[in-house]
């Protein structure tokens, strides 16, 4: 009887000790990851979130530098081959050992119908197994940035996928549920304990993880909170330890409580203005028979009429980085010399407009999303006001992103704003997708159909150039031409703002990705 | 009476189907789901292929028939956004919304009826004027603003109640409830109040108006003349008769409560149908919207019939009226 | 009593209705407030310090200034500015006009459609009655906001931008009216069912008066009282619906202020301490809604013959 009591007491003490050790980290983001299938949707947040569970061959460190993940070393034996030496003794959370076969399988899965990640390995024609822990990625053309392009190319277990009938990526097109949509089995530092789609996900550390544990968490609770105000309230009331993004108007409030702090940085996404330069007559304009945006002076007039300082201080709460070029600091290929805007000068704008033959301005339509980028609608409204001062009357149509993207991607637009973050963290993506002359798979997001032959040529050269210095020179040349031609009007990179409870340390990385493996809860 | 309800049921089903068809025709105007379903790397050709594979290019009537065929065999389709079957998703979210709506109605009734009686019995008193005006101010402000102010006061300043979610829920098979845990109950308070406030004012005003009318009816005057106490007259006769329209309103307002749960669930991140639906509209998740709309219109048509039945049970005159109409 | 000549105005002044009004301070105040607000809204162009409908008047440099501030270029903002640098006072007055316009027009439209269908349904009956009432049932239970969302959705895609810009407010009116007509239709139908079998209608029918004539001259006047009451209460509701739709991301274009969109924007600044961005339009919304509701309440009591016998 007595002994049983002692045993109970001991158990109680052990439990108490365990309780004291339990470190739960609760955090909230705006949305829920779209799917647990790492190949289903190439969307920044989903990929960043899944990066806690799945891992790529080559990952990103605290300053976005390339770091070893599932590959310990990588090299280029010849210009069209990348060789990856895989980490030994790695196991998936489900216990399956990680080998070269999983890499080959994953690339095959990524290239399969229904995958949204195929672009990351588009240049790869074949993956060869050299031995169990060495693979060669073979390409038809030299591709110097493959490791950069594949930092979100997550490796799944071949055995697990095949066993669970998930050898093909989850695709809505199949109109069927895929096991991998709601279940995950990665090699990463965390694994899923419980998931309610759109409501709550509980993660626990993966005991089999290969890496050195920097975090001290025993459990992570993730909740999507869509409403900005509610998200901030959840942080201020202590219901969660961290929220992001914190809307800029609440930044001061979060900092002033004494119990919370605000971490800030800049997005890697550049926001810019598209101007339709293809049509002979604009769709929504008072100017008939010609397209004013074909005239560089008009584009420059718009550029110099936009007061980015005012937008920064008044709309972005001083947190944004004003952009002079189309790629953000932190993106490979960024050149600080280009990151200077033409001066804000409405008088010069009026003169340019008069020279171009529009002394009293004109009327145009503008498209804007109202739920896609930070303060998107407000930025557009401010631009409308600024353009009104130089005589350009803008009819703004701000709508939800679904309708917005449908409209602008079908080129049914005159003036619009758009944001671009290269998923490869490399300027080539901006050139190819946003700046190059639209053709087939090129220039999909070049909504204004800006076109410059030399930039198109340079983009092809950049794709193949292996020497980093030469490559940078080509990128700078292309971006310089674009800048002087005013193909688009770059605006800014929005500020990142994470609200964190004091006593919790997290590392803010400029791709807005919260890496749980660097989180510490101190009390 | 039986044939009357069968007839009405048939009519209702026809109208529900028509409504479903119309709303289906409208979906293509909600936006293009494809752009949300592929990442930024997808080309225009990829998007086109996706659109074709989903049958979004087909005529509306074909899409509708496809939906109906699936629905009749129990397959409501797969959500574009979540990639999981829509039926399961809706059932998963349904308990949260039902619980919220019922609690909101409960709040509205429990507060609304006594306050309504009070303001009717003391029609000219200062207190009832103040009550009426306060209740009107409550409904003069949009629900979302009230919700945020409540969060600001009770979660951020006082720290008494949670600002989002359902708290701890207990599940029984596929059903979940927050009614059995302290955390769950606490989480229910603010959303129910926010959602119930509008209905409370409505019930308060309705009860007041009905009471005033009934109190002037002849039979009440007779009752008074017979020397019954005020108490007996007010509560046994007058109040009882005001409850008939109150029951109707509660039934009919359930639709509105469900609708406004969209707003309340957005403000409180309440994981119910409303939140799901508003996100689906933003995403143009057609299968989910279609299933939701058909489900909700069927559900409410049934509720309507139920209210009519109840109404008939309470008030024999209605029953007689219905019978005679049914024969026409 | 030879001086017992009662003039028409005198008779009007002494009628139950007006007597009741004169002795109800609530009704008087509510009427004054309503009339003043409507007058201010109608004369918005002449009362406001800044024309906020002109985008050039907003200066983002002056954004989020508290009440009483002076702007960078010397403008004085009595009630502060909104996040776009628009003068709050002017924005609220224009917003009031937009909201009243949307609310008023949708109530008129809903009442018109509702009365028409109610009369047809009640007087003609038969399958037409059944059809209208079943549609009403479904409509009444169908979430109103969803209907509005869908109507807005069609209009945006079906029209090009210029048309949509021009028709944004009519579209909103239709969307809101579509959710309110049922109430009128049901009320009217019920009243018509009662009136239809009364002696005076039967008599008219016997002497061969056409059904349309009977509807217009005999039944209509008898059912208008309740309609006025429903309409006043619906006006406040319609204005709130506009605000809710604005919260859900649809409604009037962003450059046209409405009370709803102003409150929605203010909502985002509640935690940051910029209280006036939500408080100013919120107060206006409360004043308007309260006045109209109190007026509606009073009308309901005053027009109800069973209540007026004091």
Q: Which helix (H) or strand (E) holds A135?
A: strand A134-139
Q: Which residues contact A438 (CB under 8 A, 6 or more apart)?
A: A444, A446, A449
**Partner residue facing A395 (CB), from C85, C156, C165:** C165
Q: Round to whole Å and give the CA distance between B85 and C156.
A: 30
- The alpha-helical segments, DSSP class H, found in chain B are 2-27, 34-37, 44-53, 60-72, 86-121, 126-140, 143-150, 182-215, 218-225, 230-231, 240-268, 273-283, 286-314, 316-327
Asked if B142's CB is within 8 angstroms of C244's CB, the reply is: yes
Same domain, B50 and B94: no
The pair of three-digit structure tokens given for residue A369, joined into one six-digit string: 């999303």
A378 near A315, Cβ under 8 Å?
A: yes
Cross-chain residue pair B213–C306, CB shorter than 8 Å:
yes
Strands A520-521 and A393-399: unpaired
Distance CA B249, CA B116 (A): 14
Mutation to test the C interface, candidates A245, A276, A310, most C Cβ within 10 Å: A310
The predicted structure's pLDDT at residue A347: 95
Could you tell me the pLDDT band of residue C161, with boundaries at 50, 70 and 90? low
Within chain B, what is the greatest distance between any pair of CA atoms? 85
> What pLDDT is recorded for position A428?
93
Distance of CA C97 to the CA centre of its chain: 11
Q: Do C307 and B216 touch (CB under 8 A)?
A: yes
For B182, the token pair is 């302290």
A288 or C309, higher pLDDT: A288
- Residue A249 has its nearest CB partner, among C156, C165, C269, at C269
The SS3 call for residue B170 is strand
* Degrees to nearest 5, angle at CA B198 with B254 and C137: 30
Instruction: Of A476, A436, A473, A461, give the one whose Cα is nearest residue A324.
Output: A476
Q: Which of residues 8-27 of B touch C (CB under 8 A)?
A: 8, 11-12, 14-16, 19, 23, 26
Torsion of CA C127, C133, C138, C141, to 10 degrees: -170
Using a CB–CB cutoff of 8 Å, tell me whether B253 touches chain C.
Answer: no
- ipTM (interface predicted TM): 0.82
pLDDT at residue A163 in the model = 93
A314 in C contact zone (CB under 8 Å): yes
Residues on chain C touching B302 (C-beta within 8 angstroms):
none
Are C255 and A396 an interchain contact pair (Cβ–Cβ within 8 Å)?
yes
The predicted structure's pLDDT at residue A16: 47
A-contacting chains (≥3 CB pairs under 8 Å)? B, C
In chain B, the percentage of residues whose pLDDT exceeds 90 is 13
Spell out the residues 6+ positions from residue A17 whose beta carbon is closer than 8 angstroms to its own.
Answer: none
Q: State residue A53's pLDDT score.
A: 96
Q: What is the rounded radius of gyration, in angstroms, for the C-alpha atoms of chain B?
A: 24
* Measured distance CA(B232)–CA(B224) in Å, rounded: 9
Q: Do B296 and C142 touch (CB under 8 A)?
A: yes
Among A511-515, C79-83, C127-131, C155-159, the range with the most confident prediction by mean pLDDT is A511-515
Mutating which of B38, B41, B66, B95 best tests the A interface, going by the most A Cβ atoms within 10 A? B41
Task: Show the tokens assigned to C20.
Answer: 């009741």
Which residues in chain B are closer than 8 Å to C267, comparing Cβ atoms?
Answer: 144-145, 148
CA angle C4, C307, C15 (to 5 degrees): 20
Burial class (CB in 10 A: 0-12, 13-18, 19+), C225: middle
User: CA–CA separation, B315 vs A158, rounded Å?
Assistant: 68
Output phi, psi for A131, to 5 deg.
-145, -170
The H helix count followed by the E strand count for chain A is 16, 21
Question: Residue range B12-27: average pLDDT?
Answer: 72
**Is there a contact between C307 and B8 if contact means CB atoms under 8 Å apart?**
no
Looking at the fold, whether B295 and B276 belong to one and the same domain comes out as no
Q: Dihedral sign, CA of A210, A212, A217, A222?
A: negative
CB pair distance less than 8 Å for B44 and A170? no
- Taking the mean position of all CA atoms in its chain, how far away is CA A75? 26
Which pLDDT belongs to residue C254?
64
Structure-block tokens of residue A483 = 């800048």
**Does B119 share its domain with B148?**
yes
Residues B141 and B197 in one domain: yes
Interface contact flag, C153 B31, Cβ < 8 Å: yes
B259 and B309 in one domain? no
Cα–Cα distance, B28 to B42 (Å, whole number) = 21
- How far is the C-alpha of B35 from the C-alpha of A401, rounded, in Å? 9
Helix (H) or strand (E) holding A497: strand A495-501
**What pLDDT does A54 receive?**
96
| Number of residues that make up chain C | 310
Statement to judge: residues B225 and B154 lie in one domain: yes
C253 chain-A contacts, CB cut-off 8 A: 396-398
Q: Residue A176 and residue B78: Cβ atoms within 8 Å?
A: yes
Show the domain range for B313. 1-80+289-328
pLDDT of the residue at C1: 44
Q: For B178-225, how does the pLDDT look when each residue is reduced to its tens digit (9 = 90+)?
A: 888 888 899 999 999 999 988 888 888 888 878 887 777 777 777 777
Question: CA-to-CA distance for B282 and B276, rounded, in angstroms?
Answer: 10
**Topology classification of domain A270-493:** Dipeptide-binding Protein; domain 3 (3.10.105)
Amino acid A464: pLDDT:
85
Torsion from C-alpha of A7, A11, A17, A21, nearest 10 degrees: 150
Q: Give mean pLDDT, residues C257-273.
A: 84
Neighbours of chain B (3+ CB pairs under 8 A): A, C
H/E stretch holding A204 = strand A200-205
**Quick one: pLDDT at residue A473?**
96
Residues B24 and B92 placed together within one structural domain of the fold: no
**How distant is the alpha carbon of residue C218 from its chain centre?**
28
Mark which residues 182-211 of A lie under 8 Å from B by CB. Answer: 182, 196-200
- pLDDT grade, residue B35 (50/70/90)? confident
Residue pair C225/B244 in contact by the 8 Å Cβ criterion: no
Element (H, E) at A266: strand A260-266
Question: What is the rounded average pLDDT of the residues C94-116?
Answer: 90
In this predicted structure, the answer to whether residue B226 has a pLDDT above a threshold of 70 is yes
Q: Token pair 């028939």 is at which residue?
A: B65
What is the band of B322 on the pLDDT scale with cuts at 50, 70, 90? Answer: very low
**Whole-angstrom Cα Rg for chain C:** 23
Candidate ranges A64-68, C1-5, C298-302; pick with highest mean pLDDT: A64-68
Both B31 and B130 in one domain: the answer is no
Architecture of the domain made up of C25-46+77-308: Orthogonal Bundle (1.10)
User: pLDDT higher for B19 or C270?
Assistant: C270
Q: What fold, for A38-46+54-181?
A: Dipeptide-binding Protein; domain 1 (3.90.76)
Mutate to test the interface with C, among B22, B25, B145, B148 (most CBs of C within 10 A): B145
Beta-sheet strands, E only, within A309-414? 321-322, 363-369, 393-399
Q: Which of A409, A417, A452, A410 shows the shortest CA–CA distance to A302?
A: A417
Chain A positions in Cβ-Cβ contact with residue C157 (cut-off 8 Å): 403
Q: What value does the CA radius of gyration of chain A take, rounded to a whole number of Å?
A: 25
- From the list A118, A120, A237, the residue facing B163 with the nearest CB is A237
- How many Cβ pairs closer than 8 A exist between chain A and C? 91
**pLDDT level of residue B289 (50, 70, 90 thresholds):** confident
State the Cα torsion C227-C231-C232-C238 to the nearest 10°: 160
Q: Using H for helix, E for strand and C for coil, what is the string for A390-419?
A: CCCEEEEEEECHHHHHHHHHCCCCCEEEEE
Query: 3-state DSSP call for residue B148?
Result: helix
Site from C166, C267, C268 to mutate, A interface, most A CB atoms within 10 angstroms: C268
Q: Give yes or no: residues B294 and B277 share one domain.
A: no
Beta bridge partners of A492: A271, A322
Minimal C-alpha gap between B66 and chain A (Å): 13
Strand order of the sheet with strand A415-420?
A321-322, A489-493, A270-275, A415-420, A363-369, A393-399
C interface test, pick of B137, B142, B250 with most C CB neighbours within 10 Å? B142
CATH code for the domain in which residue B141 is found: 1.10.3720.10
Whether residue B73 is found in the same domain as residue B174: no
Report domain extents, chain A: 38-46+54-181, 270-493
Give the list of residues 6+ apart from residue A22 with CB closer than 8 angstroms, or none.
A218, A219
The whole-number pLDDT of residue A301 equals 96
Comparing CA positions, the residue from A253, B116, A468, B17 lying closest to residue C275 is A253
Q: Using a CB-CB distance cutoff of 8 angstroms, which residues of chain C are in contact with residue A380?
A: 254
One digit per residue, the tens of pLDDT, for chain A of length 523 reads 445 545 555 554 444 444 456 889 999 998 898 889 999 888 889 999 999 999 999 999 998 899 999 999 999 999 899 999 999 999 999 999 999 999 999 999 999 887 888 888 989 999 999 999 999 999 998 888 899 889 999 999 999 999 998 888 876 666 667 888 889 999 999 999 999 888 899 999 999 999 988 999 999 999 999 888 899 999 999 999 999 999 888 888 888 888 999 999 999 999 999 999 999 999 888 999 999 999 999 999 999 999 999 899 888 888 899 999 999 998 999 999 999 999 999 999 999 999 999 999 999 999 998 878 888 888 998 899 899 989 999 988 888 777 788 888 888 899 999 999 887 889 999 999 999 999 877 888 999 999 999 999 999 999 888 888 999 999 999 999 999 999 999 999 999 999 999 999 999 998 889 999 999 998 6
Q: How many structural domains is chain B composed of?
A: 2
- The contacts of residue B10 (CB under 8 Å, 6+ apart) are none
Q: Kindly provide the residue ranges of all beta strands, DSSP E only, lying in A61-123, ordered along the sequence.
A: 66-68, 71-78, 81-86
Region at A154 (left for phi over 0; alpha for psi -120 to 50; beta for the rest): beta
pLDDT recorded at residue B327? 32
Which position has the token pair 């008769």? B241
Residues A384, C272: C-beta atoms closer than 8 Å: no
C267 CA: distance to closest CA in chain A (Å): 8
């Amino acid at each position: 009887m007595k002994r049983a009591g002692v045993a109970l007491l001991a158990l109680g003490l052990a439990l108490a000790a365990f309780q004291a050790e339990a470190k739960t980290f609760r955090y909230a983001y705006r949305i829920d990851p779209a799917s647990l299938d790492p190949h289903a949707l190439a969307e920044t947040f989903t990929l960043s979130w899944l990066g806690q569970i799945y891992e790529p061959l080559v990952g990103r460190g605290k300053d976005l530098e390339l770091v070893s993940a599932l590959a310990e070393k990588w090299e280029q034996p010849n210009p069209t081959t990348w060789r990856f030496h895989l980490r030994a003794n790695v196991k998936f959370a489900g216990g399956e050992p990680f080998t070269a076969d999983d890499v080959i399988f994953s690339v095959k899965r990524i290239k399969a119908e229904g995958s949204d990640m195929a672009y990351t390995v588009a240049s790869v024609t074949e993956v060869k197994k050299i031995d169990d822990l060495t693979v060669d990625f073979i390409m038809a053309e030299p591709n110097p940035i493959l490791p950069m392009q594949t930092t979100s190319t997550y490796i799944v277990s071949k055995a697990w996928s095949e066993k669970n009938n998930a050898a093909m990526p989850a695709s809505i097109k199949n109109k069927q549920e895929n096991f991998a949509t709601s279940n995950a089995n990665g090699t990463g530092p965390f694994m899923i304990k419980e998931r309610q789609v759109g409501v709550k996900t509980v993660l626990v550390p993966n005991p089999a993880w290969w890496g050195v544990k920097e975090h001290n968490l025993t459990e992570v609770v993730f909740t999507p909170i869509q409403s900005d105000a509610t998200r901030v309230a959840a942080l201020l009331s202590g219901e969660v330890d961290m929220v992001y993004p914190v809307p800029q108007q609440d930044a001061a409030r979060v900092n002033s409580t004494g119990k919370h702090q605000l971490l800030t940085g800049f997005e890697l996404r550049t926001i810019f203005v598209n101007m339709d330069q293809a049509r002979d007559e604009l769709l929504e304009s008072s100017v008939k028979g010609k397209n004013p945006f074909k005239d560089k002076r008009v584009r420059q007039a718009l550029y110099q009429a936009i007061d980015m300082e005012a937008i920064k201080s008044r709309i972005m709460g001083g947190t944004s980085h004003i952009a002079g070029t189309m790629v953000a600091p932190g993106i490979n290929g960024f050149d600080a010399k280009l990151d200077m805007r033409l001066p804000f000068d409405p008088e010069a704008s009026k003169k340019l407009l008069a020279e171009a033959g529009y002394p009293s301005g004109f009327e145009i339509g503008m498209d804007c999303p109202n739920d896609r980028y930070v303060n998107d609608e407000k930025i557009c409204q401010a631009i409308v006001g600024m353009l009104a001062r130089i005589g350009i009357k803008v009819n703004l149509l701000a709508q939800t992103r679904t309708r917005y993207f449908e409209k602008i991607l079908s080129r049914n637009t005159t003036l619009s704003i758009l944001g671009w973050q290269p998923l490869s963290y490399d300027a080539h993506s901006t050139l190819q997708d946003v700046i190059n002359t639209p053709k087939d798979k090129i220039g999909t997001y070049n909504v204004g159909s800006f076109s410059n032959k030399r930039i198109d040529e340079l983009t092809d050269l950049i794709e193949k150039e292996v020497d980093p210095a030469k490559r940078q020179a080509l990128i700078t040349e292309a971006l310089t031409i674009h800048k002087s031609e005013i193909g688009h009007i770059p605006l800014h990179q929005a500020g990142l703002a994470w609200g964190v409870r004091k006593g919790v340390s997290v590392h803010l990385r400029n791709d807005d990705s919260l890496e749980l493996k660097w989180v510490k809860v101190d009390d | 009476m039986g044939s009357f309800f069968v007839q009405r049921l048939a009519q209702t089903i026809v109208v529900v189907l028509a409504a479903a068809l119309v709303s289906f025709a409208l979906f293509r105007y909600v936006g293009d789901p494809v752009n949300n379903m592929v990442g930024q790397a997808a080309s225009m050709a990829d998007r086109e292929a996706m659109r074709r594979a989903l049958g979004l290019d087909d005529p509306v009537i074909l899409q509708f028939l496809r939906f109906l065929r699936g629905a009749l065999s129990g397959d409501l389709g797969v959500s574009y956004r979540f990639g999981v079957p829509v039926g399961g998703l809706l059932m998963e979210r349904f308990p949260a919304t039902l619980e919220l709506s019922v609690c909101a109605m409960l709040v509205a009734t429990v507060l609304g009826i006594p306050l309504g009686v009070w303001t009717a019995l003391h029609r000219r008193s200062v207190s009832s004027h103040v009550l009426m005006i306060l209740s009107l101010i409550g409904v003069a402000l949009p629900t979302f603003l009230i919700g945020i102010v409540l969060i600001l006061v009770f979660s951020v300043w006082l720290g008494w109640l949670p600002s989002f979610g359902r708290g701890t829920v207990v599940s029984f098979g596929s059903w979940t409830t927050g009614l059995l845990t302290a955390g769950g109950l606490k989480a229910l308070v603010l959303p129910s109040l926010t959602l119930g406030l509008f209905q409370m004012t409505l019930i308060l005003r309705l009860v007041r108006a009905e009471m005033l009318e009934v109190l002037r009816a002849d039979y009440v005057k007779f009752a008074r003349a017979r020397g019954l106490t005020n108490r007996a007259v007010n509560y046994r006769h007058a109040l009882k008769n005001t409850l008939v329209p109150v029951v109707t309103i509660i039934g009919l307002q359930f639709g509105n409560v469900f609708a406004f749960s969209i707003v309340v669930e957005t403000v409180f991140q309440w994981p119910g149908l409303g939140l799901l639906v508003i996100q689906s509209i933003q995403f143009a998740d057609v299968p989910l919207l279609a299933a939701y709309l058909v489900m909700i219109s069927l559900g409410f048509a049934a509720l309507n019939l139920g209210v009519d039945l109840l109404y008939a049970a309470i008030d024999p005159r209605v029953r007689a009226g219905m019978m005679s109409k049914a024969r026409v | 009593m030879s001086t017992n000549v009662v003039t028409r105005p005198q008779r009007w002044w002494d009628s139950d209705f007006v007597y009741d009004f004169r002795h109800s301070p609530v009704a008087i105040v509510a009427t004054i407030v309503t009339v003043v607000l409507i007058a201010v809204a109608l004369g918005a162009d002449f009362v406001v310090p800044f024309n906020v409908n002109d985008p050039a008047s907003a200066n983002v440099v002056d954004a989020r200034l508290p009440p009483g501030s002076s702007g960078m270029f010397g403008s004085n903002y009595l009630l502060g500015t909104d996040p776009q640098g628009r003068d709050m006072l002017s924005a609220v007055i224009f917003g009031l006009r937009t909201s009243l316009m949307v609310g008023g027009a949708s109530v008129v439209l809903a009442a018109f459609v509702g009365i028409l269908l109610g009369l047809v349904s009640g007087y003609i009956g038969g399958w037409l009655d059944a059809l209208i009432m079943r549609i009403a049932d479904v409509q009444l239970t169908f979430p109103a906001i969803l209907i509005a969302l869908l109507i807005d959705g069609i209009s945006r895609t079906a029209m090009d931008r210029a048309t949509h810009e021009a028709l944004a407010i009519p579209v909103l009116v239709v969307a809101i009216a579509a959710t309110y007509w049922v109430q009128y239709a049901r009320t009217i139908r019920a009243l018509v069912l009662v009136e239809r079998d009364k002696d005076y209608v039967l008599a008219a029918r016997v002497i061969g008066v056409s059904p349309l004539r009977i509807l217009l001259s005999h039944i209509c006047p008898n059912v208008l009282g309740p309609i006025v009451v429903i309409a006043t209460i619906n006006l406040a509701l319609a204005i709130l619906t506009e605000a809710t739709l604005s919260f859900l991301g649809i409604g009037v274009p962003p450059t046209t202020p409405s009370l709803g969109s102003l409150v929605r924007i203010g909502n985002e600044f509640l935690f940051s301490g910029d209280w006036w961005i939500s408080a100013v339009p919120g107060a206006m919304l409360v004043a308007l809604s309260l006045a109209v509701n109190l007026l509606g309440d009073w009308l309901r009591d005053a027009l109800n013959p069973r209540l007026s016998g004091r």
